[in-house]
Structure 1
Amino acid sequence: MSRDSRYPRAMEVTPRSAADEVDRIVDAWRRERPDLDVEPLTVFSRVSRLARHLDRARRGAFARHDLETWEFDVLSALRRAGEPYRLSPGTLVAQTLVTSGTMTNRIDRLERRGFVQRHRSPDDRRGVLVQLTDTGRERVDAAMSDLLDVESRVLDVLAPAERPRLAALLRTLTAQFDLHE
């Protein structure tokens, strides 16, 4: 695969059979602490390292569209809501897993950038709805396209048939946490 300079070096494909840094870490722990079952490291150290690489790649995709990760999170929640791209601050809090104070600050900042507008709720005179502006929609749509390009390139090392299986296994692992939130 040719490497596009926009993508981190860590995203380059390496042979599946090659030992990686996690193999070296696990081998060292097995040598130093043979009394421990270090098998969880073979999975979670890779998940952790992958998460760090993906975080860098995602931040790069968003930065190319002059967005911070948190801005993308809020804008994409509004975009996913569908026309008219409005949600209550409480719904945004639930979808982005931040406090209401943090969300108020984020909405203020996004409003100053022209990405969202506040509107009175037609159903509750005290309620507010946050609506994505055309500028915000254009920005989040462009960033989403770039993000999917980055993430698709990461998945290129897997056969298409392997992707649903990986997604299912990861869903099983994350469900234990998602159910408690």
Structure 2
Amino acid sequence: MTEDGILEDRDALDAILDQWRHERPDLDLESMAVLARITQLAALVNASVERLLSQHGLQGGEFDVLTALRRSGDPFTLTPSELSRMVMMSRAGMTNRLDKLEASGLVQRTLDPIDRRSFRVALTARGREVIDRVLPAHAANLSRLMADLGDEARNALDGHLRVLLRSASASADAASRRLH
């Protein structure tokens, strides 16, 4: 390990990059290396999260809805539109998710008393119990995955990823505007 806490171990991606450097020394491949590792990491983290959630009878999308309701605070109620925005998915996809969660007794849909054309989605007592049981296990799982990083390295990584995400989002937004 180097002084800054970086492992010196080479991995399969290093071998691929070495081949490309030999074949195409004219290309800057450092960004490819970083983004490929982020992609691999995301796949591993997602698989770990899905395994944990499945042990509790949940899928990732259902967990997202339950956590959105739970963090909204008492009375743990939102409209389907609010939920769709919070979990960044279509209304149609949200309807399917809510159907399953309601059938499981984790959420309840009722007519909005203020706007009877709309519904409210509420976390049931059982839903709150499930999310309050799963969330600590989820947080512990994520902490375990990050355990090899110290606080300083984790904070630095968070800052760098925040900048990268902001840049990639701006680039995607600009590309989307050019298409429309």
Give TM-score scaled by structure 1 length.
0.86
Q: Which residue identity is paired with 2:100?
A: R
Kindly indicate whether structure 1 or structure 2 has the higher relative contact order, using CA contacts under 8 Å at least 6 residues apart: 1
Which residue of 111, 118, 121 corresponds with 2:102?
111
1:84 aligns with 2:51: no
Q: Is the 8 A contact 1:116 1:132 kept in 2?
A: yes
Q: Deviations over 1:43-78 (max 9, x none)?
A: 101100000100110001101111011110111111
Q: Is the 8 A contact 1:65 1:142 kept in 2?
A: no
Give the match's secondary structure for 1:18. coil
Percent identical: 38
1:154 aligns with 2:132: no
C-alpha distance in 2, partners of 1:99/1:168? Answer: 30
List gaps (5 residues or longer) in structure 2.
1-5
**Which residue matches 2:9?**
18
C-alpha distance in 2, partners of 1:152/1:116? Answer: 28
Relative to structure 1, the CA distance from residue 16 to residue 63 in structure 2 (aligned partners, 3 Å threshold; closer, same or farther) is: same
List gaps (5 residues or longer) in structure 1.
1-14
**Which residue matches 2:129?**
138
Aligned length: 167
Q: Which residue identity is paired with 2:112?
A: S
1:164 aligns with 2:155: yes
C-alpha distance in 1, partners of 2:167/2:109? Answer: 35
**Which residue matches 2:21?**
30
C-alpha distance in 2, partners of 1:140/1:163? Answer: 26
Q: Which structure carries more helix by proportion?
A: 2
Q: Which residue identity is paired with 1:91?
A: E
How far residue 148 of structure 1 moved from its aligned partner, in angstroms, is 1.1
**Which residue matches 2:114?**
123
How far residue 108 of structure 1 moved from its aligned partner, in angstroms, is 0.9
C-alpha distance in 2, partners of 1:163/1:117? Answer: 38
Runs of 4+ deviating beyond 4 Å: 177-181
1:65 aligns with 2:56: yes
C-alpha distance in 2, partners of 1:32/1:161? Answer: 38
